[in-house]
A and B are shown apart, each in its own frame.
Chain A
Amino acid sequence: MSTVPTPDIEKELAKLPPAVLESYKAALPLMESSFNAEELLLWAKEGVAIATQTVRSWESAVEYHKVGPQVSKALAFPSFMQWARCGTYLSQDSPTLAVAFFHSSPSIVGNLRPQYIPRWAGLGRSLYKGTWKSSTLAAKFFEVSPDLIRSLPFWDVEVFVSLIEALSYKSYDVAVECLALGKDVLPAMGREREAFLSMTRSLAEGSWREVKTCLELAPRTLQQLEDAQTGRFLKLGERLAKMGLRDTARFLADGTQALAQVTPSAQGHILDLSELLISVAPEAVPAFLKSLENVLGRITLNQLDTWFQQGAQLLKENRESGIAFFKVESNTSEALLETLSSSLELERVKGVIRLYCRALSGSPIEVMNTKELVRKNIGWVDEDTASTDGTKVFLPPVVDHYLSKDENFAWFKVVSTHQVGHLEFGSFQFQFEKPAALFENRRIALEQQRGIAVPEQAVEPMAAEHAEAASEGQTQSFTDIGRFLHLFDNRKLAFDLFTVLEDCRLDYRVRVEYPGIRTAAEKVQIEARKGRPNIEELPLQEALVELLLHMSLEQFTDLPVPVEHREVAEMLARILHTLRNESANVEDTSEATLRAYELISRLQNEEQPEDQWEPEDLDDPGEFSEEDYQNLVDKLQAGQEEAGDQGEGEPYDSPEPVDYRGDFKPEMVQLLSKLQSDKNQQGDGPQLTKEQLEQLLQESAELELDAEQGDANQNMSQFAQNLMKEAGVPPPNAQPGQGYGPQLHDDDQGGELEAKEPRTYVYDEWDFRAGDYKPRWCIVKEKTLEEGEHSFYNESLRNYSSLLAHIKRQFELIMPESFRKIYRLIDGEDVDLNAALEAVADLRMGVSPDEKIYWRRNKIQRDVAVVFLLDMSASTAEAIDEGRHTTDDRDAPDDPVEYMVWLRRRREGLVRRHYKRIIDLEKESIALLIQALESIGDTYGIYGFSGYGRENVEFYVIKDIAESFGEKIKRRIDKITPLHATRMGAAIRHAITKLENQDATTKIFFLISDGRPQDRGYSREGVEKEYAVHDTHMALLEAKRKDIIPFCLTVDKAGHDYLKAMCGDMGYEVLGDIWALPERLPMLYRKLTF
């Protein structure tokens, strides 16, 4: 029992209204359990102090007594007294405040650190301005405090109170309402709360009325946004508010609505754009966000950039019209949207077009963006023109020629049909010595004739070049096309003629073979004709080429023909008409070229007077006859000789290219395929050197090089190198299969290692010279790969959806096997009625019956465990398509428009990388594989490895063999990146331990790599590559001894030489075409296990 505090206290209290004493007496026994006598006295005294502050403060004292017992349980005595004293001060100012303070305290003190209590009391005090209304507000604050403090960090409460205080200067009513709203709204917010408070805080100055609306709107709107973006969005609102924008609430509503329309990553982009706008014209931001919903309904996110860019430009020039633009209240804006919305992006239809092209051509054609081709820098320069390199069809990224998507798609179709036509109808199959189908063959004769003619004309510079070329003999013509074009002095003219005539032949074939697209093709042709120059205005040679071009575009009537050379024009028409035949082949085109060339080259390239032109119909010029032709040539020759030397005429210029026909580069294509085939039959015949290639390119009529000579030389060298890369020929000075890992150097020193950290393991390494293991030589560090976005995984599946379906089907085919009923068993689930009847019949017949009369479900199930080990070495960063482009993140331009461009590039770089790296394909393949594996339920683990040095072999867990597949794994796949070197042996040994513990009947170890194993010191004396190969071989052998089936798949084309040694009789495959990896990997696995 403790001592009762002095009766003085009670005496004091008795002076006050009786409720005080009553409450004191009620509390006292309860307090005794928490405090000792001394403390109790202090408590009681403080009560008296509170009660005697002002006339009405006895009410506070009652409340103080009432809550005391509860509060005392949560607070130590010093804190308790601090708390009590806070109440005393409050009651000094306003007893109402103190009552509210004490009243909320029991539910507060448990949630608030004691040292914050005075600050909390201070917050309430700060709201009190001595007026009745302010005391209500402050009291209200104490009332809602428990809710706020329980769920908000204290400093957020402080910010919120300062907001309320600021509001209270404007209107107490609003402040009270906001306080109440805040209590409900704020706790529900996440990380964005801080930003939200900061935004509303800035609103309180200028447009305080909106704070309430914002609070009302917030919970509904903000939850539609991606967490990460909400903060930025609110910041934006804050900046706008600070700049004096009215109607922030509206902005909040419109903005969230707009952002809710798009994917999380796109939200970020839109905020990028908005932030950009703010710096130009803040008032445009709300307009932009408001129209966004409408705009995005019409165009895609990529197109939005284009639209935005134009708007930003406009804003800079004229603020008013810029804002109208973003409000979509201007014609410019509307018109642009119109165009953009009907335009068609290649990305969207790529899949369909690819299959379409494959169907037509019968070869595994890839469809790609023209940008990729230009980036390769192997001779193609135009980004907007379609083309083909023989295995891929390149199409422009966007088509917006027409006002409807269907028409634009039809354009894609016409263009790709034409490109595939080159393959289908054999443009690149040209063989110099193959006879033409319709013309007589003059090529070989001409070549011989020229070969003889060379020495006689050796004085002329042009011919001198030929002499040189001829002296090199056969080697100078690496391609048949090249050899053909060598027949002509004016190779440019010859090549242009060849192009026009070949395109004419193709378009005709397409017309006949594919009548379904005739309408679309005609439309495109008519349009192509519209932009052509006037024939009459061109110098004669060019005019005649243009004439042929018009005819090739199906215009035969009303063509202007030079009166003087009517015969030539008619002969040309006959030549062209001969090609408009289903049996015409590319050799016919060459013969036609030869003839057209003979005619045109004999004419002066000079402009003809206007009256020298007459319209003529050339739709039926009659049959071509060699005899008439020869007569005409002779006549021209005679005329030429008669006229004597009249000067050169104007230099010949190539005709404007026809858009839809794209870039036709047969020589390049033949060269590429020649390089490739050369490489495949190594050592067989003379190989093309880089110098020869350069010379060849220099002579090619297909490359337009307007640059300075020196520049051109450099370009050539670059081209040549790129071409060789493209063809997969190792560039000079490069070791095949060697990535760019760290430099090899001697690291034979040092001794055994020890694994000290957790998740590290020590392995021996095989030294083939010593014929023994180096004990405890490598340390493998196992790490779980960090998690990235799961979008990579999902996107891969989307991109390969058709392949995936195929793979899945292939895998699912196996499934029924394991559930099939088997009949005619000696024992089983049930009697097989058929067999039983037979047995009875047999019994009756006196024949010995079959005793197998049961059936059961086949219990033989797949029991496969597999570990995939993925090479994550630096060399996997190698782009599959050459010409890596790097963006420098540091120098973002200041100009908004330029910034836009920069931003977009960067984004493309991050989101849709234009070039693919080996690792990307590896990742995609893994994604597909997982799908397949999941569908059959095999046990599997996926690991990656890399590292540097023997003490640092990194082993990354992508999916541990015991782990089940889920979001986590998807995220980890995203994080597979090229790292360091490849010390395969140790990694394999570690991977094997994963399999060892599995008790599956079939265990498979599957290695996917991109080159030979190599690492710092992964060799003896630092030079012998065999060391690494032998160690790896040994590691695989160890696997085999443990009843694990090893298999190696490499995408290194030079892999054959060392894989044989590395894998021995164990399975391996060298994948020639890296693009086939996603398809091949699951199939290989399937083959391996069934």
Chain B
Amino acid sequence: MVEAVGPEFKEYAIEEFLVRREPYYRPVGDEVELFTAAYHQHIPVLLKGPTGCGKTRFVEYMAWKLGRPVTTIRRNDQQELREGEVRVPLVTIACHEDLTASDLVGRYLLDAEGTRWIDGPMTRAVKTGAILYLDEVVEARKDTTVLIHPLTDHRRILPVEKRGTIIEADDRFLLCISYNPHYQSALKDLKQSTRQRFISVEFNYPPREIEAEIIAKESGCSPAQADALSKFGEKVRNLREHGLQEGASTRLLIYAGRLMTQGIPARRACQVAIVWTLTDEPELQRSVEEVASSIFE
């Protein structure tokens, strides 16, 4: 008998996805406390920061952390929950320019028998009390604000226009959006009326020592290598506004570290993971490579 070895994967309904294993997250400031407080106080959270600095990881981590019954969460009926029963699913939606309100809320579908209503991911998150994470929210179409506004003020409701209903959000529901202030043109800025419904947590690339710690942990490279990589990252970020659009993200530094643990020489790893990723311009490439060759032996 030959056993069929198929691909192994797990499939979840979107609102049932739970972060079960602790994601690695290294707090830099008080963001964990802030988020926790906001969560309990039903205050929506806006995460600002450049790409690859850990926003998404942070949300995952928070979903995991809040889901753990370390702190007990009081329900409306004042009943305490037993261990293991608190579940905070995480619904992540990457926004793009064609994402419309009905993509989020849901729509009627035609089938053989007639029509059928399908809940969109936002509706599901609202119903189950998940953390709804809208990544790069400014990319989404403007009509989504119609949904975000009632959900993010005291009302905490989701109007489903098509069905003529209103859904009150589950008590555990929290809306969290992210936004990268750097490459937004004025055209794509968040409106003040939207912004002012959130508390804003600013993210940046972590300070050198912490970033080194993160790189070492995530990539498994040696502390010395991690240290050099974070130093390199810091130097490259100095070149923003001098030709580079974005500095090297922590994510890229980790990639470089990973390549290094696989035996790729440091300079080469930096070249493919960072230099060539960041820019196509020969002079800039050369300059960044020179920095790399100064830092790495």
Contacts and interface: CB of A to CB of B under 8 A. Distances in A.
Given A802-B281, A806-B243, A1090-B187, A413 B108 contact: no
B107 interface: yes
Contact of B239 (A358, A805, A837, A845): A358
A354 B283 CA distance: 10
B294 A355 contact: no
B283 A351 contact: yes
A817 B243 CA distance: 24
Interface stretch (A360-368, A500-508, A760-768): A360-368
Interface size band for A:
35 or more
Given A516-B295, A806-B245, A841 B109 contact: yes
A842 B110 CA distance: 10
A809 B235 CA distance: 23
A1087 B189 CA distance: 14
B195 interface: no
Contacts of A446: none
Contact of B108 (A362, A813, A842): A842
B32 to A, nearest CB: 29
The interface centre, meaning the residue of A361, A517, A1087 with most chain B CB atoms within 10 A of its CB, is: A517
Chain A interface mostly = helix
Contact of B98 (A515, A823, A845): A823
Contact of A355 (B100, B186, B287): B287
Interface residues of B, number: 41
Contact of B242 (A355, A360, A844, A845): A355
Interface string A833-874: 000011011101101000000000000000000000000000
A847 B117 CA distance: 13
Nearest to A824: B100
A359 interface: yes
The interface centre, meaning the residue of A417, A803, A806 with most chain B CB atoms within 10 A of its CB, is: A806
Contacts of A223: none
Contacts of B100: 823-824
Interface in B114-172: 114-115, 162-164
Interface string A510-541: 00011111100000000000000000000000
A69 B295 CA distance: 92
Contacts of B264: none
Contacts of A351: 283, 287
A356 B283 CA distance: 10
Contact of B293 (A517, A820, A823, A844): A517
Contacts of A840: 110
Contact of A361 (B110, B115, B238, B296): B238
A358 B239 CA distance: 6
B34 interface: no
A345 to B, nearest CB: 16
B287 A356 contact: yes
A801 B287 CA distance: 14
A1023 interface: no
Contacts of B187: 814, 817, 1090
Interface string A769-784: 0000000000000000
B249 to A, nearest CB: 16
A354 B185 CA distance: 28
A515 B297 contact: yes
Nearest to A521: B294
B283 A359 contact: no
Given A352-B287, A838-B102, A845-B115, A360 B107 contact: no
Interface in B270-297: 281, 283-284, 286-288, 290-297
The interface centre, meaning the residue of B97, B162, B228 with most chain A CB atoms within 10 A of its CB, is: B162
B215 interface: no
A391 B15 CA distance: 55
B294 A517 contact: yes
B122 to A, nearest CB: 17
Nearest to B98: A823
Contacts of B228: 515
Contacts of B236: 359
Contacts of B163: 847
B296 A516 contact: yes
B197 interface: no
B294 A516 contact: yes
Nearest to B286: A352
B243 A355 contact: yes
Contact of A838 (B108, B245, B288, B296): B108
A813 B185 CA distance: 8
A355 B109 CA distance: 56
Contacts of B98: 823
A224 to B, nearest CB: 30
B231 interface: yes
Nearest to A816: B97
B295 to A, nearest CB: 5
Contacts of A353: 287
Contact of B294 (A514, A817, A842, A1087): A514
A534 B29 CA distance: 56
A1090 B281 contact: no
Interface in A356-415: 356, 358-364, 413
Closest 4 CB pairs of A and B: A355-B287, A841-B108, A802-B243, A362-B238
9 contacts: A355-B284, A356-B294, A359-B235, A362-B235, A363-B238, A802-B284, A805-B281, A809-B245, A1087-B186
Interface of A: 351-356, 358-364, 413, 417, 513-518, 801-803, 805-806, 809, 813-814, 817, 820, 823-824, 837-838, 840-842, 844-845, 847, 1087, 1090
Interface of B: 97-98, 100, 102, 107-110, 114-115, 162-164, 185-187, 228, 231, 234-236, 238-239, 242-243, 245, 267, 281, 283-284, 286-288, 290-297
Given A356-B290, A356-B291, A359-B288, 7 more contacts: A356-B287, A362-B235, A514-B295, A516-B296, A823-B100, A841-B109, A1090-B187
